[in-house]
């Protein structure tokens, strides 16, 4: 959090300064009370009217000061949380594929919403107000010393006790805060899962089961919040006890001092007022300290997320695909203990080549694509583009070379144009060409808003085929030299899919890699090579004629790929 305070040091320092000014002005209230009461007892009317005028001016000044202080506090919180939330989001999105998917995405949502709120309520607000309370405390202490050193000593004894007991409880607060954050994250995961599975829940009449499970998690969250709140309640109750005890002590000691003519009644009222300005801030500071300390696990987690972002311009340099994609003795497993999902893959795909990957489910087709695109990194061997290892190319540069279209298409909540242009500015002629080549142009007249039609959450207002055409249009618009179709036309009607792939096969500048279960013999024969995968290994690589004539593959193609 320190770097955000440094970044906005001017407004932070101004807030602290105005807070100190407010503290000093607030302390002066005790002296006004002293003057008013002593003037009333003395029945000095001339001084009384003067004191009234001074009191009115005082309340105007303190009100303005307080408003300005609150305004600056909110401004400080705004800019700090804005930058923190942005850095956390930027860090999360900047992770590589393996790191990103190692955590449930609901935990990310919880971090930029629930955890940020906890940071505001339990770290920023207490820490900012805590500084202001320290200002009041110091001012009250100096004023008390000037009025009565004896009472000041009594207060210090109470303060030492008030500081000792809450400090013992800080670890409990920290643990409760951490558990509450974890439970919030679990609750967010569960809610996201149920909302995503709405269709399954309704189709299989699972409402009663889901209600029961949700009720259990909801109760756990409520109980955990209660435990967290109760821990803070105990801490605040301890502080309250010492605050009340100190006030009672001041009243009794002050009454004795009046009896022995050591102080006046007006001074006693001023001392009581100052003691409140001394004891209450100590209680508030101790509570704020406990709250701030309790957020340590959350701050550490957010700091880790924010640290994922690196602006690595060297590894993300712009490169051009001129030669070939090469895989040398590539083996892959999801972790060191698992058996290899891909075994000793040796493959070379030249620029402009048209390759189709076939194989039974689980044979390693998608895994091979994930390796080529850099989505999987836990491999042995070499994967090179133009003889440069893809790990040295960098994720951003690699993404500039390769476009990939999956069977399941994700669409952002926006319009068709937004999802094709990906919120970037493009020449209209290029957009029109992409609409035609992808088949999007054909279904646009059926929509009320044409290309500005709202697609809904993840494109739920469109059919699967329409979504795949939009995904193809965005790929065509980007004009990347390498295109991978991972069942990317499976939901499109046969004729349109044929026309699209036929165009791609005749684009001499495009390197095309296709995974499909629906290729016709006419299209299959146009590919330069067919890669047959079986049990994580390449069984055969060859032209359509060579592969189809293999005795052990004839039935394979007839029954599964035609």
Given its phi and psi angles, is residue 557 left (phi above 0), alpha (psi -120 to 50 degrees) or beta? alpha
User: Where does the pLDDT of residue 84 fall: very low under 50, low under 70, confident under 90, or very high at 90 and above?
Assistant: very high
User: Where does the pLDDT of residue 520 fall: very low under 50, low under 70, confident under 90, or very high at 90 and above?
Assistant: confident
CA distances from 519 to 329, 489, 516, 552 (A): 29, 10, 7, 19
DSSP one-letter string for 356-390: EEEE-TTSSHHHHHHHHTTS---EEEEEEETTEEH
Residue 312 has pLDDT above 70, yes or no: no
Residue 420 has pLDDT above 70, yes or no: yes
DSSP one-letter string for 276-326: HHHHHHHHHHHHHHHHHHHTHHHHHHHHHHHHT----TTTT------SEEE
Residue 77 has pLDDT above 60, yes or no: yes
As a whole number of angstroms, the distance between CA 500 and CA 438 comes to: 6
As a whole number of angstroms, the distance between CA 407 and CA 392 comes to: 29
Where is 514: in which H helix or E strand? strand 511-515
Q: Which residue has the higher pLDDT, 311 or 81?
A: 81
Q: 186-200 pLDDT, tens per residue? A: 888 888 888 877 777
Structure tokens of 370?
């994930």
pTM, rounded to two decimals: 0.76
Contact 403, 515 (CB under 8 A): no
As a whole number of angstroms, the distance between CA 461 and CA 419 comes to: 13
Work out whether strand 379-385 and strand 324-332 pair parallel, antiparallel, or are unpaired.
Answer: antiparallel
- CB-based contacts of 254: which residues, under 8 Å, 6+ apart? 148, 151, 263, 268, 271, 272
Q: Which residue has the higher pLDDT, 470 or 133?
A: 470
Mean pLDDT score across all residues of the chain: 83
User: Average pLDDT, stretch 91-105?
Assistant: 84
As a whole number of angstroms, the distance between CA 174 and CA 186 comes to: 19
Residue 556 has pLDDT above 70, yes or no: no
Q: 231-279 pLDDT, tens per residue? A: 888 877 877 777 777 777 777 887 878 788 777 777 877 777 777 777 7
In percent, the amount of the chain with pLDDT more than 70 equals: 92
User: Where does the pLDDT of residue 559 fall: very low under 50, low under 70, confident under 90, or very high at 90 and above?
Assistant: very low
Q: Cβ atoms within 10 A of the Cβ of 328, count?
A: 13
CA distances from 548 to 25, 520, 543, 551 (A): 91, 13, 8, 8
Q: 444-495 pLDDT, tens per residue? A: 998 888 999 998 888 888 898 999 999 999 999 988 999 999 888 888 888 8
Task: Give residue for tokens 């999902």.
Answer: 341
As a whole number of angstroms, the distance between CA 425 and CA 418 comes to: 10
Helix axes 428-438, 464-478, angle to 10 degrees: 140
- Which sign, positive or negative, has the C-alpha torsion 368, 374, 378, 384? positive
Q: Cβ atoms within 10 A of the Cβ of 393, count?
A: 22
Residues counted in the chain: 562
Q: What are phi and psi of 409, to 5 degrees?
A: -100, 135
């Amino acid at each position: 959090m320190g770097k955000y305070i440094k970044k906005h040091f001017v407004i932070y320092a101004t807030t602290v300064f105005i807070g100190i000014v407010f503290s000093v002005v607030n302390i002066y209230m005790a002296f006004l009370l002293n003057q008013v009461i002593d003037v009333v007892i003395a029945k000095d009317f001339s001084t009384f009217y003067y004191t009234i005028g001074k009191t009115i001016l005082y309340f105007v000044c303190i009100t303005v000061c307080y408003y300005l202080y609150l305004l600056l506090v909110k401004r400080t919180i705004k800019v700090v949380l804005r930058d923190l939330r942005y850095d956390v989001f930027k860090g999360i999105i900047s992770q590589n594929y393996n790191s990103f998917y190692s955590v449930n995405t609901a935990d990310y949502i919880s971090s930029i919403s629930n955890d940020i709120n906890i940071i505001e309520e339990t770290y920023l607000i207490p820490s900012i107000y805590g500084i202001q309370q320290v200002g009041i405390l110091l001012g009250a202490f100096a004023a008390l010393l000037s009025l009565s050193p004896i009472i000041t000593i009594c207060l210090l004894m109470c303060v030492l006790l008030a500081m000792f007991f809450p400090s013992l409880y800080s670890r409990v607060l920290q643990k409760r805060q951490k558990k509450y954050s974890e439970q919030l994250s679990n609750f967010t995961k569960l809610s996201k899962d149920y909302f995503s599975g709405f269709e399954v829940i309704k189709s299989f009449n699972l409402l009663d089961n889901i209600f029961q499970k949700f009720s259990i998690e909801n109760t756990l969250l409520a109980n955990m919040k209660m435990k967290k709140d109760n821990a803070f309640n105990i801490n605040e109750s301890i502080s309250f006890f010492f605050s009340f005890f100190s006030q009672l002590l001041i009243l009794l000691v002050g009454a004795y001092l009046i009896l022995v003519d050591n102080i006046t009644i007006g001074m006693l009222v001023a001392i009581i007022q100052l003691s409140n300005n001394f004891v209450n801030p100590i209680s508030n500071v101790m509570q704020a300290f406990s709250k701030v300390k309790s957020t340590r696990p959350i701050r550490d987690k957010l700091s880790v997320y924010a640290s994922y972002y690196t602006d690595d311009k060297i590894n993300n340099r712009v490169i051009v695909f001129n030669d070939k994609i090469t895989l040398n003795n590539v083996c892959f497993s999801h972790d060191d203990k698992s058996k290899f999902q891909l075994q000793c893959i040796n493959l070379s795909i030249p620029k402009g080549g048209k390759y189709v990957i076939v194989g039974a489910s689980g044979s390693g087709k998608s895994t091979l694509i994930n390796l080529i695109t850099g989505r999987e990194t836990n491999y042995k061997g070499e994967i090179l583009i133009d003889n440069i290892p893809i790990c040295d190319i960098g994720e951003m540069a690699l993404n500039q070379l390769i476009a990939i279209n999956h069977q399941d298409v994700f669409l952002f909540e926006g319009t068709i144009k937004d999802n094709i242009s990906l919120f970037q500015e493009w020449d209209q002629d290029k957009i029109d060409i992409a609409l035609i080549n992808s088949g999007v142009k054909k279904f646009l007249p059926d929509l009320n808003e044409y290309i500005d039609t709202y697609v809904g959450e993840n494109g739920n207002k469109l059919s699967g085929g329409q979504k795949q055409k939009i995904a193809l249009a965005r790929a065509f618009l980007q004009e990347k030299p390498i295109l991978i179709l991972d069942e990317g036309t499976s939901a499109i009607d046969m004729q349109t899919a044929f026309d699209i792939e036929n165009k791609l096969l005749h684009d001499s500048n495009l390197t095309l890699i296709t995974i499909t279960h629906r290729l016709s013999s006419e299209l299959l024969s146009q590919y330069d090579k067919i890669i047959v995968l079986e049990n994580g290994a390449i069984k055969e690589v060859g032209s359509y004629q060579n592969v189809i004539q293999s005795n052990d593959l004839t039935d394979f193609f007839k029954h599964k790929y035609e």
